């Protein structure tokens, strides 16, 4: 028999474990910094409420009804609704997105592991901002070190998933998630004493529309068109929407997979609300811990993916018992990353078991190896390899020496390209299809039964959201990007 979560609480914990991860603590602060703060956070919160919440409900209920890996769940549900079996492509693109995301997620998680050792060795004690930055630069420009940590993290992910998703996850999340929350609160309290707190609040919660809507270069200066006007861009909106999907683990079947282990009798509305609120709380706390340090030390909020590694160690180096607290922090962050990584790989593993008859261990090792290979691309990105460097030899090889990547693409490296493509394109499209499937394709009595809401009013609200509001918003952002219409 297929096992189920041992209780409703376990499901919540597993889903929170999947949602809360590097996305909240590493990614949210650095993209907020890059896109100018206030308006970005508003856009993100807006997407969480109007797109994330309804789509999470949809994804959980599809999974619970299908009771299989996303590919087979979509096959079965489309059959049940008399729809085209091509809906299972949703499951396929989810497996691809999950593996691509995990490939770089593991490299960053590796950096987190490296930092837990550095914190415990007292390396951060009484360092200056420049010293801390140097420590980060020396790690990311050393490919062998990154590779070693990436390999260790992937092996641990494979080990945890090979044992079966339930066992390890339940224990990890029950104790370690609350501990991470407490530690974040301590860090916010410390950040209040640094003198940068007010500036941080201002940065995070005062909308500055220029920084959000107009394109800037790497130095933060506005780009101008031929007439000397600033250039309007939808990229930040796309990143904000993509991040709403990313941070809630939506749009690729991870939550669908977890929903499939959920038993029939629990009501999913309240659970979804808890998962989404906790996830958002953790992200905002991370911002409140990091930005005061940025401003108090005169650092650049748009420092990019290194932001947490260049700010938090400053705090650990200067507070009493900083080595201990710092070690705890990075160890807990490592566990948060592990519980997210598990959910990124599980849909592919479950599919290999169901459809190809592989044993769990074999399936996990296969997927893990593929992901590990792709991760090497991200390692080279950190040491400075751009997409241009990768494509140029390929172009010359086939005899087109003079082709160069266009300006839009030349700013990307392997890591930023995969990140943008998965989080800002694949996840929203996956989410859009999930909403359309749940709202329009499935029979109303099937979805209604899955919901079993106590209150009669919630179902119609949800249905309206997945039918009209969420798909419309996702489409709006996309249509603007490809320039079909202009706001
Ligand atoms: N939500 C996780 C985080 O914030 C990452 C993650 C786990 C994820 N599973 C996912 C992202 C599925 C997208 C899809 O760190």
Average pLDDT for 32-59: 96
Residue 237 burial class via C-beta count within 10 angstroms: exposed 0-12, middle 13-18, buried 19 and up: buried
Reported as a single tens digit per residue, the pLDDT across 49-77 is 999 999 999 999 999 999 999 999 999 99
Ligand 1 pocket test target in 14, 16, 20, 21 with most atoms within 8 Å of CB? 21
DSSP 8-state assignment for residue 86:
G
Task: Assess whether the C-beta atom of 21 lies below 6 angstroms from ligand 1.
Answer: yes
Q: What is residue 479's predicted lDDT score, i.e. its pLDDT?
A: 81
Residues 340 and 96: their CA atoms lie apart, in Å, by 16
Residues 180 and 226: their CA atoms lie apart, in Å, by 50
Task: Assess whether the C-beta atom of 249 lies below 6 angstroms from ligand 1.
Answer: yes
Reported as a single tens digit per residue, the pLDDT across 208-247 is 888 888 888 767 788 888 898 888 888 889 999 999 999 9
pTM: 0.94
Any idea what the Cα angle at residue 255 is, between residues 252 and 261, rounded to 5°?
Answer: 130
User: Tokens in use for 374?
Assistant: 């792709």
Residues 280 and 48: their CA atoms lie apart, in Å, by 9
* Helix residue ranges per DSSP H, 297-321: 307-318
Q: What is residue 368's predicted lDDT score, i.e. its pLDDT?
A: 98
Q: What is residue 16's predicted lDDT score, i.e. its pLDDT?
A: 94
Ligand 1 pocket test target in 249, 346, 371 with most atoms within 8 Å of CB? 249
Number of domains in the chain: 1
Task: Assess whether the C-beta atom of 247 lies below 6 angstroms from ligand 1.
Answer: yes
Beta-carbon contacts of 146 under 8 Å, excluding residues fewer than 6 positions away, are 107, 110, 111, 139, 140, 379, 382
Task: Assess whether the C-beta atom of 343 lies below 6 angstroms from ligand 1.
Answer: yes
User: Tokens in use for 175?
Assistant: 């104790």
Confidence of residue 412 (pLDDT cuts 50, 70, 90): confident
Nearest CA to 335 out of 145, 186, 175 is that of 175
Task: Assess whether the C-beta atom of 342 lies below 6 angstroms from ligand 1.
Answer: no
Residue 405 burial class via C-beta count within 10 angstroms: exposed 0-12, middle 13-18, buried 19 and up: middle
Reported as a single tens digit per residue, the pLDDT across 336-373 is 999 999 999 999 999 999 999 999 999 999 999 999 99
Lowest mean pLDDT among 90-99, 179-188, 273-282, 456-465: 456-465
Confidence of residue 384 (pLDDT cuts 50, 70, 90): confident
Is the pLDDT at 276 greater than 90? The verdict is yes
Confidence of residue 108 (pLDDT cuts 50, 70, 90): very high
Ligand 1 centroid – CA 237 distance (Å): 19
Measured CA distances, 129 to 70, 111, 114, 181, 297 (Å): 46, 19, 19, 26, 7
Average pLDDT for 448-476: 87
Ligand 1 centroid – CA 340 distance (Å): 6
Atom of ligand 1 nearest to the CA of 255: 12
Ligand 1 centroid – CA 318 distance (Å): 32
Ligand 1 centroid – CA 249 distance (Å): 4
Task: Assess whether the C-beta atom of 252 lies below 6 angstroms from ligand 1.
Answer: yes
Ligand 1 centroid – CA 456 distance (Å): 32
Is the CB of residue 315 less than 8 Å from the CB of residue 293? yes
Task: Assess whether the C-beta atom of 422 lies below 6 angstroms from ligand 1.
Answer: no
Domain with 72, as residue range(s), is 8-482
Confidence of residue 83 (pLDDT cuts 50, 70, 90): very high
Any idea what the Cα angle at residue 476 is, between residues 474 and 481, rounded to 5°?
Answer: 100
Nearest CA residue ID for atom 12, ligand 1: 249
Ligand 1 centroid – CA 56 distance (Å): 13
What is the domain-level CATH number for residue 192? Answer: 1.10.4160
Ligand 1 pocket test target in 90, 344, 418, 421 with most atoms within 8 Å of CB? 344
Reported as a single tens digit per residue, the pLDDT across 137-194 is 999 999 999 999 999 999 999 999 998 767 667 777 888 889 999 999 999 999 999 9
Residue 2 lies inside a defined structural domain of this protein: no
Residue 111 lies inside a defined structural domain of this protein: yes
Residue 426 lies inside a defined structural domain of this protein: yes
The b/e string for 304-322 (b: 16+ C-beta within 10 A; e otherwise) is: ebbbbbbbbbbbbbebeeb
Q: What mean pLDDT is reported for the chain?
A: 91
Residue 195 lies inside a defined structural domain of this protein: yes
Ligand 1 centroid – CA 425 distance (Å): 15
Lowest mean pLDDT among 56-65, 118-127, 394-403: 394-403
Task: Assess whether the C-beta atom of 19 lies below 6 angstroms from ligand 1.
Answer: yes
Q: What is residue 143's predicted lDDT score, i.e. its pLDDT?
A: 96
Residue 306 lies inside a defined structural domain of this protein: yes
* Helix residue ranges per DSSP H, 67-215: 70-80, 89-120, 129-140, 143-162, 165-192, 197-205, 209-213
Task: Assess whether the C-beta atom of 94 lies below 6 angstroms from ligand 1.
Answer: no
Total Cβ atoms within 10 A of residue 303: 19
Ligand 1 centroid – CA 99 distance (Å): 11
Q: What is residue 486's predicted lDDT score, i.e. its pLDDT?
A: 53
Nearest CA to 58 out of 447, 475, 487 is that of 447
Is the pLDDT at 1 greater than 60? The verdict is no
Residue 99 lies inside a defined structural domain of this protein: yes
């Amino acid at each position: 028999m297929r096992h189920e979560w041992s209780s409703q609480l376990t499901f919540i914990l597993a889903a929170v474990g999947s949602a809360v991860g590097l996305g909240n603590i590493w990614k949210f602060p650095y993209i907020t910094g890059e896109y100018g703060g206030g308006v970005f956070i508003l856009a993100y919160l807006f997407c969480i409420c109007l797109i994330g919440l309804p789509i999470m409900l949809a994804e959980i209920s599809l999974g619970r009804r299908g009771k299989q890996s996303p590919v087979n769940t979509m096959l079965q549900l489309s059959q049940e609704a008399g729809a085209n079996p091509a809906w299972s492509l949703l499951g396929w693109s989810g497996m691809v997105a999950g593996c691509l995301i995990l490939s770089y997620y593991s490299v960053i998680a590796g950096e987190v592991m490296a930092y837990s050792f550095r914190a415990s060795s007292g390396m951060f004690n009484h360092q200056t901002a420049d010293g801390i930055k140097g420590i980060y630069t020396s790690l990311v420009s050393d490919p062998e070190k990154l590779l070693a940590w990436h390999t260790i993290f992937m092996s641990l992910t494979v080990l945890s998933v090979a044992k079966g998703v339930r066992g390890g996850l339940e224990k990890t999340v029950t104790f370690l998630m609350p501990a991470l929350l407490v530690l974040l609160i301590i860090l916010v309290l410390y950040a209040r004493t640094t003198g940068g707190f007010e500036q941080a609040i201002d940065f995070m919660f005062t909308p500055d529309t220029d920084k959000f809507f107009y394109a800037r270069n790497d130095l933060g200066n506005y780009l101008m068109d031929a007439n000397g006007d600033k250039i309007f861009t939808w990229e930040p909106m796309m990143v904000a929407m993509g991040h709403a999907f990313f941070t809630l683990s939506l749009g690729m079947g991870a939550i669908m997979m977890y929903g499939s282990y959920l038993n029939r009798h629990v009501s999913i509305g309240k659970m979804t609300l808890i998962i989404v609120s906790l996830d958002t709380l953790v992200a905002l706390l991370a911002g409140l811990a990091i930005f005061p340090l940025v401003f108090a030390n005169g650092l650049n909020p748009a420092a990019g993916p290194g932001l947490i590694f260049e700010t938090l160690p400053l705090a650990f180096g200067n507070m009493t018992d900083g080595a201990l607290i710092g070690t705890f922090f990075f160890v807990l962050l490592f566990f948060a990353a592990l519980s997210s990584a598990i959910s990124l790989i599980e849909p592919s593993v479950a599919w290999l078991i169901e459809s190809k008859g592989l044993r769990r261990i074999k399936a996990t090792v296969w997927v893990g190896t593929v992901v590990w290979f792709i991760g090497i691309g991200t390692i080279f990105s950190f040491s400075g390899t751009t997409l241009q460097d990768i494509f140029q030899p390929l172009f010359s090889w086939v005899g087109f020496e003079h082709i160069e990547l266009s300006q839009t693409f030349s700013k990307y490296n392997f890591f930023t390209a995969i990140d943008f493509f998965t989080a800002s394109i694949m996840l929203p499209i996956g989410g859009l299809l999930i909403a359309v499937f749940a709202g329009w394709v499935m029979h109303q009595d099937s979805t209604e039964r899955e919901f079993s809401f106590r209150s009669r009013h919630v179902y119609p609200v949800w249905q309206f959201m997945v039918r009209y509001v969420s798909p419309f918003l996702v489409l709006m952002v996309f249509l603007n990007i490809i320039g079909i219409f202009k706001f």
